[in-house]
Chains A and B, each alone.
Chain A
Amino acid sequence: MADQRLIVVGGGLAGLMATIRIAEMGVPVDLFSVVPVKRSHSVCAQGGINAAVNWKGEGDTPWEHFDDSIYGGDFLANQPPVKAMCEAAPGIIFLLDRMGVTFNRTREGLLDFRRFGGTKHHRTAFAGATTGQQLLYALDEQVRRYEAADLVQKYEGWEFLSLILDETGRCRGLTALNQRTMQVHPFLGGAVMLATGGPGIIFGKSTNSQVNTGTAAGAAYQQGVCYANGEFIQVHPTAIPGEDKLRLISESVRGEGGRVWTYRDGKPWYFLEEWYPAYGNLVPRDIATRAIFKVVFELALGVNGEPMVYLDVTHIDKATLDRKLGGVLEIYEKFMGDDPRKIPMKIFPGMHYSMGGLWVDFDHMTNVPGLFAAGEVDYQYHGANRLGANSLLSCIYSGQIAGPTMVRFAHAQSANGHAQAAAEQETKRQEELFARLRKLDGPENVYVLAKELGEWMTANVTVIRDNQKLRETDNKILELMERWRSLGLHDQAGWANQELSFVRQLWNMLELARVITLGALRRDESRGAHYKPAFPDRDDVRFLKTTKARWTSDGPAFSYEDVDTSLITPRPRKYDTEKTAA
């Protein structure tokens, strides 16, 4: 099997890192992406990437990074892989540095590090305020190098449709849609990786890119891949609302000294600094988001009575702002018209990241043999809440370890099972599905249904969760699934038909929306980003467990798996006082 190609779906940081590692071992890769890989969602990450190198002499260690991550994630993450990631982090930064990432520098020419939320250390390496973009470009360039050496074949503008599973249940490849010809094609490989990112578009407007529909994960889930911790959705405290999306204002703004406030009795009130003196504006995202909700909705102290508070950098000198935060302030200026160097920014929380995702073992293989997952689409590293600047790290780390694991897996397999027959069968199934979709001529509009889904999910399955509303939301999703059957297709073209693609994607989004909503309904506690006022405390006895959802024709079937807490004993998570020692 040594001559077999491997398949990677998704050209963000995780997919590209895996591709590089596989190609470096001399194994050819087919790389699929719905957009040219250089336009993947990783470009949106602004603030930086964590690694405890202790270059500011603060006594930082990988263990401290590990403890911050586990504590920040409210103890829901399996600990050994998180520890391994934090230990690998300095090496990853050095690798990126060698690849030519334009990290900010100190006077001595060394990498500079800034502070981020949920830690007391300067641990975050950064390239201006477009770190994700800079990292993605570095990996994109390395992949291009392997492309020039004929080890990587890119399929850009191809959409993942489904897994090809042989009669033994092993994943042998995938079917994909050519987004121009609208034809379905099968591709076989020794192993398949999904590195397809998060599901933000399920929430309608989020900080995610338009490509982050979650459709690939939703399709895999319907073919028997377990989805874990779906209910853990991170809402970023500082975004700017727009008609088309919510635009992120990076946590690095607070890392560089930005302060959050609103008016109370006619005077600025720095509520995060007052409520959380130990961490101030750099509390983790779930904490900051709930504080802003409290200020705006409970205390009715939003700016001008509207749902927004100030994020203020006007006290920081312009040169520092331009050097360290230029890219993010530029976004605010371009979209809002005000110069944040002079006028405090107006911000409000927005859906940002899914801690949950496809269940994987410590080697990043899903419960389906031969199918791997890495990056935001897996669930491994962030527990109940992700710390800022850990996502770029987990993407690269998971791609880095999953790539070689895939090679080893593919080499160890014998040629049992009939891949070719499975491929033909799966291609036929997908072609028949598209033939049915092309005949849709009902009254419903697919983009209207998606908007309704987004509004319901944002209102009821983000910051504050209530069991009655979660039940109503699931009923709404079922209603949307019913109405999906009465969709009408406006576009009958057999060329570059985005509407037809999206009809199929929306179904997968609806399936995942149920996993997220019902997972939240069943979890009667508050932990990290999952907050139920009716159950305000963390309940380790019942819920120190990974949620696992498996698709059935009657909706998701849930089971719960113990979390590996073998390294750090769970303790209460508080940010008003200093973190106690692990």
Chain B
Amino acid sequence: METRQIRFRVKRQNNADSAPYWEEFEIPYKPQHNVISLLMEVRRNPVTRDGRATTPVVWEASCLEEVCGACTMVVNGHVRQACTALVDKLEQPITLEPMTKFPVVRDLMVDRSKMFEALKKARTWIPIDGTYDLGPGPRISPETQEFAYALSRCMTCGCCLEVCPQYNERSSFMGAATMAQVVLFNLHPTGLMNKHERLDVMMGEGGIADCGNAQNCVEVCPKEIPLTTAIAELGRQTTIKAFKDLLWR
């Protein structure tokens, strides 16, 4: 009897400047495999399907519970986290590719530092006075908390940028993830106090004006963050601010 096998192909690349190439692997079937455990099997026996010795595939991974965002890659043409990509739900041969909108470091590992830079630029934090014991924070209704929590689950994984027609390696567009964070911090009673600083950034280069409203982002967000709702809200806030800026100039 022929034993059942899992076949998958990996798009590999030695560094940012070298040409990509494909390698195919095959391992015995087990019911609970996900893409991560396939790559782990290859690590323990780095041999291609045609029996050629190769190097272990390089990829990023940390929590494997879809809360850290590290293992994001393109699986069968769709950007997602590899940890929740269960083999039983994937058509074979499974294809694994690095995200295309970020520079490849090696194999499936890409450099997403631009996203963290965008958060820095957008000033997405509460400027607290200090870490001393200054009593409780402001009261917040459960409804506001629920919306804030939905926005706050963003892992900075980059799925929304991968599918955004306005975003590429060279563009300055900060993208849906950062815009949603601005809305999150403008929602908080303390964050509201310096709302204008964040809106100024969003009205500048790489801000909301670059959004083409394709709405792909909300489709692929693994945490189902209401990204288009957030972008619409940001649009409202920036419009009001632009109007006020004009009046009070």
Contact = CB atoms under 8 A, between A and B. Distances in A.
B101 to A, nearest CB: 17
A470 B61 CA distance: 32
Interface stretch (A432-440, A490-498, A555-563): A490-498
Nearest to A154: B116
Interface of B: 14-15, 30, 32-34, 36-37, 40, 43-46, 53-56, 58, 60-70, 83-84, 86, 105-106, 109, 112-113, 116, 119-120, 123-128, 130-131, 133-137, 139-142, 145-146, 148-149, 152-153, 155-156, 185, 188, 190-191
Contact of B64 (A105, A107, A134, A210): A210
Contacts of A180: 105
A94 B84 contact: no
B69 A103 contact: no
A244 B59 CA distance: 14
Given A21-B131, A100-B188, A142-B128, A128 B149 contact: yes
Contact of B191 (A100, A105, A147): A100
A103 B124 CA distance: 18
Contacts of B40: 243-244, 447
Nearest to A112: B142
A99 B128 contact: yes
Contact of A20 (B44, B131, B136): B131
B158 to A, nearest CB: 11
A323 B142 CA distance: 10
24 contacts: A35-B70, A91-B133, A94-B133, A94-B134, A95-B128, A97-B136, A97-B137, A98-B136, A99-B137, A102-B149, A104-B149, A142-B125, A144-B119, A148-B120, A209-B62, A209-B63, A210-B61, A210-B63, A244-B40, A245-B65, A247-B65, A445-B45, A491-B56, A498-B56
Nearest to A130: B67
Contact of B156 (A38, A91, A448): A38
B37 to A, nearest CB: 4
A133 B67 contact: yes
Nearest to A156: B113
Contacts of B37: 242-244
Contacts of A228: none
Nearest to A94: B136
Interface string A36-74: 101111011000000000000000000000000000000
A137 interface: yes
A481 B153 CA distance: 42
B125 A448 contact: no
Contacts of A282: none
B126 A100 contact: yes
Given A44-B63, A110-B139, A243-B37, A490 B127 contact: no
A103 B148 CA distance: 10
Contact of A210 (B15, B62, B69, B126): B62
A451 interface: yes
A496 B56 contact: no
Contacts of B127: 145
